């Protein structure tokens, strides 16, 4: 039998040729995620498999355990938010655990429980064009995926007493309610707060106001939902179908003084009534447009009450961390109406669109 010996350099070349492809295959990791696919009207959710890259310097890999939905996610799906969304990973709000680190990461370690910030790059201070240019699920990739790679600056630690599902409700709706009431409104004990409807932002506003010793008043078309709101601390409730001129009931609940704060999420149909319910020196946080974004503002209704209006676009990471400290101090638990599985994500969007929810709709991965 002949034995053929290879020169050392040939052996080394053979080893390198064998190992290099193997090392690439080991490094590549396939995960499932939803992407937006063109449909007859807007987009549909398409579940796909893709490879995620290894984390670069200052990046971490997060195993997403839960996400929550906002009305903005519906607008994206319907094709009415932003430009072309084909291939986009939707949803801004997620929570999970850090499972891998890139070089130079200082803020987190493997195993940390984290939530994504709404904006990738708005860390602190006032908003700038650059800071708000990359919102998750919009100009930046969303979180409806099993794993994501993100810069460490775009994450916060979550309160220890919260589940992943509860923490996933915080990045958009929670921070929006927080900045509207506290950062821009300066909420104080015993002040009246008007909350419209029983969706995510309004229920967070109810919980925050009650915890701060303020007096939340909330509207809904459902008496059953209003009963639940009272159990969470609402001092007065108004059914806006039973009372179309609901601003009158709101003012009556304040003994005619009017409210000091409004989380205005309704838009053109609700803003005039909210202004009519506003008290002297009151503040309106302009947040959403469930009934439409167009319309006119009665300037006299604001200036005549020495009031103020602030346009709210969620908030910074610093705002998120301040809210988390408040939530941890008061041991608040976000209200989740229903949790869907990852495979049921399209049904979760449909449920949110139905308006049947009270609080938040979540998806567990």
Mean pLDDT within 300-314? 80
pLDDT (tens digit per residue) in 273-300: 999 999 999 999 999 755 455 556 666 6
CB environment 157-180: b (16+ within 10 A), e (fewer) = ebbeebbbbbbbbbbbbbbbbbbb
Structure tokens at 17: 């040729």
Residues 334/359, Cβ–Cβ less than 8 Å: yes
CA dihedral 66, 70, 76, 81 (to 10 degrees): -140
Q: How far is CA 203 from the centre of its chain?
A: 13
Give the count of alpha carbons within 13 A of 324, CB side only. 26
Neighbours of 39 (CB within 10 A): 13
Would the CA dihedral through 79, 84, 89, 95 be positive or negative? negative
Average pLDDT over the chain, rounded to an integer: 89
When pLDDT is cut at 50, 70 and 90, the band that residue 306 belongs to is low
pLDDT at 4: 35
pLDDT at 16 over 70: no
pLDDT at 8 over 70: no
pLDDT (tens digit per residue) in 232-251: 999 999 999 999 999 999 99
Q: What is the pTM of this model?
A: 0.89
pLDDT at 36 over 80: yes
pLDDT at 6: 32
pLDDT (tens digit per residue) in 57-110: 999 999 999 999 999 999 999 998 877 889 999 999 999 999 999 999 999 999
pLDDT at 302: 66
Give the count of alpha carbons within 13 A of 164, CB side only. 18
Percentage of the chain beyond pLDDT 70 is 87
Q: Which residues have a Cβ under 8 Å from the Cβ of 16 and sit 6 or more positions away?
A: none
pLDDT at 132 over 90: yes
pLDDT (tens digit per residue) in 177-224: 999 999 999 999 999 999 999 999 999 999 999 999 999 999 999 999
Q: What domains are defined for the chain? A: 30-170+315-322+332-364 (3.90.180.10), 185-311 (3.40.50.720)
When pLDDT is cut at 50, 70 and 90, the band that residue 1 belongs to is very low
Residues 88/35, Cβ–Cβ less than 8 Å: yes
The residue with greater pLDDT, 26 or 180, is 180
State which H helix or E strand residue 335 sits in: none
pLDDT at 80: 85
pLDDT at 212: 98
Q: How far apart are CA 238 and CA 222, in angstroms?
A: 9
pLDDT at 134: 92
Strands 360-364 and 59-68: antiparallel
pLDDT at 11: 32
Supply the DSSP symbol for 152: G
The residue with greater pLDDT, 343 or 298, is 343
Mean pLDDT within 336-347? 98
When pLDDT is cut at 50, 70 and 90, the band that residue 174 belongs to is very high
Q: How far apart are CA 141 and CA 224, in angstroms?
A: 37
pLDDT at 314 over 80: yes
pLDDT at 12 over 50: no
pLDDT at 26: 32
């Amino acid at each position: 039998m002949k034995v053929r010996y290879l020169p050392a350099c040939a052996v080394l070349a053979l080893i390198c040729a064998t190992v290099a492809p193997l090392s690439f295959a080991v490094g590549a990791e396939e995960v499932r995620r939803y992407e937006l696919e063109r449909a007859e009207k807007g987009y549909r959710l398409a579940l796909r498999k893709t490879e995620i890259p290894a984390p670069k310097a200052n990046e971490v890999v997060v195993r997403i355990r839960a996400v929550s939905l906002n009305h903005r996610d519906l607008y994206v799906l319907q094709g009415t938010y932003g430009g072309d969304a084909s291939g986009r990973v939707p949803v801004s709000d997620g929570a999970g655990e850090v499972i891998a680190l890139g070089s130079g990461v200082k803020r987190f370690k493997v195993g940390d429980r984290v939530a994504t910030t709404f904006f990738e790059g708005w860390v602190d201070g006032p908003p700038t064009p650059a800071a708000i240019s990359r919102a998750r699920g919009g100009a930046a990739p969303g979180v409806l995926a099993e794993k994501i790679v993100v810069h460490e600056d775009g994450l916060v630690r979550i309160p220890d007493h919260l589940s992943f599902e509860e923490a996933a409700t915080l990045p958009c709706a929670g921070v929006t309610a927080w900045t509207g009431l506290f950062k821009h409104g300066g909420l104080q004990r015993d002040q009246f707060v008007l909350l419209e409807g029983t969706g995510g932002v309004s229920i967070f506003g109810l919980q925050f106001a009650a915890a701060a010793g303020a007096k939340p008043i909330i509207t809904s078309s459902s008496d059953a939902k209003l009963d639940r709101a009272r159990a969470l601390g609402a001092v007065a409730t108004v059914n806006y179908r039973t009372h179309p001129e609901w601003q009158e009931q709101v003012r009556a609940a304040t003994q005619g003084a009017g409210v000091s704060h409004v989380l205005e999420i309704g838009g053109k149909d609700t803003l005039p009534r909210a202004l009519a319910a506003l008290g002297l020196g009151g503040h309106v946080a302009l947040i959403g447009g469930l009934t439409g974004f167009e319309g006119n503002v009665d300037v006299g209704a604001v200036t005549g009450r020495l009031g103020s209006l602030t346009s709210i676009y969620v908030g910074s990471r610093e705002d998120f961390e301040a809210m988390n400290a408040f939530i941890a101090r008061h041991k608040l638990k976000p209200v989740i109406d229903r949790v869907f599985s990852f495979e049921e994500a399209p049904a979760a969007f449909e449920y949110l669109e139905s308006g049947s929810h009270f609080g938040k709709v979540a998806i567990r991965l």
